Amino acid sequence: MTHPPLAVLRLPLLLLLTTLLLAGAGILWMHHQAAEAAAALQQQQTAVNRARQQLDHSRQQQQLIATHLSDYQALAARGFVGQEDRLAWIEAAQLANRDAGLYGLDYRLMPRSASPPELAQGLSLGQTSMTLTLPLLVETDLTRYLAALKARTPGVVRVKGCHLARLDSAPFEAANRPHLQAECELLWFTVAVASEGRT
């Protein structure tokens, strides 16, 4: 039996070995490319999911705004949203005094402070204390004044408390001269908008 000459087979064997090496390298390269493509696809799917979530959130926010926009605008028009309108509060107190037919008033406004957290419930709710001193003829003058103030209120106000005291110890006489004095503390509430920040 004769053996084929090794010199003749060397070139075909070398070509076969080169082809096998190139095929193996091609398979490894294709596997690496497929893994990179799968990772890129996963990143794209994650980005798409994140974008969908943001879009859903934006739609929910838009629907929430559309649902409550008229209420917000009404509160803003009333002076509850935005900066304090101290001049309007003072004018309301003075006009209520005139409407109730009383004998003048003195007022004192304190700086705005943050409302207690249990009242604010996460809002940037602030409160401003106003102390009113009113001379009264009879006790019912106070309720008449508070009703007139409520009718003229340009914002959200709460009467924290009132204290009545006699001005003198003289007996009551049927004259239009006040014998009583009321001191009331009012709290005016406002919500700061985002551009104002908390004050």
pLDDT in tens, 69-90: 887 778 777 778 888 889 999 9
**pTM of this structure:** 0.62
Tell me how long the chain is. Answer: 199
Mean pLDDT value across residues 165-173: 71
Q: How confident is the model at residue 168 (pLDDT cuts 50, 70, 90)?
A: confident
Higher pLDDT, 181 or 66: 181
Residue 155 has a pLDDT of 83
Which residues in 81-119 are b (16+ Cβ under 10 Å) and which e? Answer: beebbeeebeebbeebbeebebeebebebeebeebeeee
**Cα–Cα dist 199/196, whole Å:** 8
Residue 173 has a pLDDT of 60
E strand segments, 16-155: 106-109, 113-114, 125-136
Q: How far does CA 115 lie from the centroid of its chain?
A: 14
